[in-house]
Structure 1
Amino acid sequence: MSGRGGPGDGRGGGRGRGRLRPGLRPVAENTRLSITEQLELFQRSDATGELPGSASGRQQAGTEYAFPPGLSNHDRAVVHAECKKYGFTSKSHGKNESRCVCVYKRQQRRGGDPAFELPLGPQSLAALEAYFHAHPPSQAELAGIAGQGRDVDLQDSYGTGEAGSSSEDEAEEEAAAEGDAVEAAAAGAQAGADGQQQQQQAEAGGRKKGRGGGGAKQHAAAFSEAESLIAGREALPIASFREQIVSALDSSQVVLIAGETGCGKTTQVPQYILEDAWYRGKGCRVVCTQPRRISAVSVAERVAAERGEGVGDNVGYTIRLESRGGPASSLMFCTNGVLLRMLTAGARGGGGGGGGPARDPLASVTHLVVDEIHERDRFADFLLILVRDLLPAHPHLRVVLMSATLHIDLFSGYFGGCPVVRVPGFTHPVEDFYLESILALTGYQEAAVRQVGGLTGGTGASRATAPPPASLPAKERRRIEEAIEAAFTTGTDEAFEALLEVTGAAGADDMSQGAPGVNVKHTAKGATALMAAAVHGRADVVSALLSNGADPSVALPGAGAQTARDLAALYGHGAVVEVLDEFGEGAAAAEELANAALALSHYQAQTNADEVDVDLIHLLLMYACQEGVFKKTDAEAAAAAAAGPQVLGAVLVFLPGWDEIMRLKEKLESSPAFGSSRYQLLPLHSMVAPAEQRRVFVRPPAGVRKIVLATNIAPVVAPHHTTPQPCLTPP
């Protein structure tokens, strides 16, 4: 392998790309000593004197020294590494054999003029306070002031020209000593980094282009969007609790905010902390945790947009394999797992295995916000245990716990009875549809009833069903017809008692079987016993006949086709009409309930309860989106258009896991309706790349509807970006 090293050759130094460390370079010991000697002589030389004579280097003024050409790439790498120890900067010049290393002393910054305090009198302070109360700074102005202060601090900390040795030279020279396999791996990693850098440069170029000609419209649109975001902040329920939250943080080290979904606690509380610290002129660094990566990214983007800046400036995020922002960011979002690893790594002594002193990861953090603690996942629970143990050693740290209205007393008691700020929430009106309703809406119930041959003819299964009149003997039919005629003509109590007796409605032993003669029709007139009771207003007789299976839908022959209810209304018997109406409503409800039960039992017998029925979900989506057989007619579409423009809300489908998401996605893509350009099918799962997950938050073009197929990851991020219209849960 020509000495190009395996796993144990000491590669993988600070950059983690397989390069050799300077101490492992194949450089002779006398050469290393000569390099060190020249650098020591250079360090002792003053800014105007000459470097003492040396056979290995040419003399220069005391602020610059050039090593002679002819050094190998390994020699130059050792020079770069040694320069860092002396605080010098180094740069390679030339090509091929003429390439050499120049070493520079850093310019000493001249001390500025002494600062003099310029105190303000009481009248000046009062005038300034009145002015700022009348004209408070905007969010963009506050962000700009904070950004300028951070830039000045960075310049003061790092100075001018303190870039160290050239990273490009170091990469070039170190890569020459690496093996082919290591070179290929390094090239792949560099390609990924270059791609990300090109993307960032393209975004920066787009922003610069927007500032050029034709940028007025973009500025106007951005200003309008910023105004709407600020107005949205003020409209959130948590806005009225801002002072209470800030005051609680001043007086307590731990504060619990119990807010219902939609109150705005996730996006607003970190901003309240930042704005209060900036108003007081204090430094502030807030770390806010989220249970999932996509929620950390989406909330960071939302907060940055509300503050009128890009992600990576004052607001950033850190998740697995991706990070925006850094130590200079005032507000960082991360997952519970990232913060837990950071805290445990610091407790172990930096986590690098170097045996050095433990680095306190909370030393620069002023506020720690732990969101969605009610979910009680393992990372959140372990994080709360660790945070409570670390609080006594960090009196400067303020902890904000945010939860839905669950386990409030449990969390408050765990942190010593910390104060609780309760914030009401806002939820959109939601109408629930269960499986029985879905089967009816999608037409499954009707098909099942027809297939099974269920309840027909308007008779409910919960009431008595009379035997067909044709099954009665002829002699008994004549007796019933005579009793009907006598009741019609006389209307006496005796006539109706005899009618109930001959029809079998008087004192039947088993009323569930119905009386045998209640639906017999008079041969000449076509009237029934129920009609005779309705004409004379006998509500008691009507109730008895109905309970024994009398059919109120039977009508008289002829053009009028009057039913018993029509006759009762014609003769002014309101009590009988009310009895018949109540019976009709109850019978319809009983029949609908019986049909729903029949369809449900049929569906459960035909499907596997352990599998998600993607066919039913597909049918339900067609109903919700009015596609296929559920499409509006031309008249209905015209009426809807006349009512005004309708917004196509997003559809959110919750599924158990990734397999079900892909099955349903493939089912919808093969559908003529949902496979068209009028719909966007977007899976939302932790296995989806972050760039693809962000597509969920992008508003689709006009006329295009978005269908999101997700697990329980969706409720965490959806409230910050979009409001789904129908929310469908599979059976």
Structure 2
Amino acid sequence: MAGKGLRIGRGGRQQQQQHGFVTEALRVRVAKILEDFRASDREVYTFEPCLSKQERSAIHQLCRKMGMISRSSGNGAKRCLSLYKSKRKQQNNRNEEEPVTSLTFGEESNVILQDLFTRYPPDDGDLNEDISQNNVKTTTNSPWIQDTSFCRPSFSKDEIKKKIETLSSKINGDLNLRKTAADIAKLPIASYKHVITSSLEAHQVVLISGETGCGKTTQVPQYILAHMWSKCLACKVVCTQPRRISAISVAERISYERGETIGDTVGYKIRLESKGGKQSSIMFCTNGILLRLLIGRGNRINKKIPPAKDTLLEISHIIVDEIHERDKFSDIMLAIIRDVLPEYPHLRLILMSATIDAGRFSKYFNGCPVIHVPGFTYPVKTYYLEDVLSILRLKDENHLSHATFSSAEEVSPLTEEYKTALDEAINLVVCDDELEPLLEIILNERSLNVCNYQHSVTGVSPLMALASKARVGEVCMLLSFGVDYSLIDTNGRSALDWAQQENQIEIVEILTSHLEKDHSKLAEEEELLNKYLSSINPENIDTVLIERLLKRICCDSCEGAILVFLPGWDDINQTRRG
């Protein structure tokens, strides 16, 4: 529809505008009419009966957006559209007091409203933006209750001393807690406790760069708390995590290490859920929660509304973990914190990262000190989908039976002294038929990096040496350990070639049978995998397979924990329900 020559509420409609298309010019013109009507004292505005069905629909939509009421009346060519101001607007124009209406919501509506106010809680400015500056005193007495989750506990010196004594007696009186404390003392971060606390005394910002598994996430907040309590000072340590599940799990872990219930000394606050409050000295939250706190503070300052209490004055330490992930919340949050730090000299910022590129973050915070903490990787054995399918099919086989041995494969590299000892032991087997030194090393270490070691000059492995000497028992032992029988020496010979060269018929049969079994196993695994992939949708998470695998692991192992990584929250819930 062309907007040219169109008259709204004053005259007729052009014939070329009857095909149902509503132009932008029409929308602009209608919006201007609505604005003028809203600003006027008139209570009703009626368009002349010259509008098409599509035009009336567009005006209805604009009215709803502007908070007005619109109704159509009449039939056929006499059908017209009328606008009414909402009751609230009419009362405002008449300076009448707005009546208070009480509404009762259902359970589903309450959940949605709780989600809304948790995501976008009203601050002092939002609650009072329609009140004049002369009524600022009234705004500070608003019924909105300030969240005290990030307020510092009001502990006296005697209360702090009592808490220290309670914690100590609780750990000493519980065997599991003592064992946990002993394990914690072995973490790489433990030897850096004094360095961390002394650096925080001297600097406002400290960056801790530690490898995964060094213990920085669970121990640094406790080091800070212990240091502050040793001076009989209350503190509020706010620790941010990039994900909800991380905030909850770390808070629960620290509470367990202290023998406490979550929400006591350690709490967390995430969207729609929180444990603990002002009495909690350590509070975990997501990056988004802390960012909302910082932005809310900025809104109050920009609107010149005096807050009841500045929350940043209550927080003594902020720990930002996993800063190397660089999500949108953490980047904005760090920028804001850097700008406000000079206003809060008491506030300490601890940045923690697993990346080696700590210099960039240190430079961003004016060359703050960096504490490098070493770490260690735990031994990991990898199973692929075809392995899992085979494990679940062969119920009589314990899939963990060989994991204890093979999992130590990459614990630590062999030292030069050890390599020399292995070279000598292999030479004694090959040249002098003396097997005891080599067998002693293998049985003492029980590690694949020993069993698969190759002589530094000849490339001979323990399996090759034993295969050439008809040591059937020892060869079977190495094969059961999962030794690599495909290794070749400097002359290109494998263990099977060594046995054939020395005419060790029984060893040749064992190695050949083992080789054929492996080939057959690979073929069976491939067939299993193809059948499985043809029967499921690869785009969906197979919760049934996960459940069966978890049951099998629980049956095969005695102790430990299982951590399952899934793509999203919906997948987690679906697996839970399954």
TM-score range normalised by the length of the shorter chain? 0.3 to 0.5
Of structures 1 and 2, the one scoring higher in RCO (CA 8 A, sep 6+) is 2
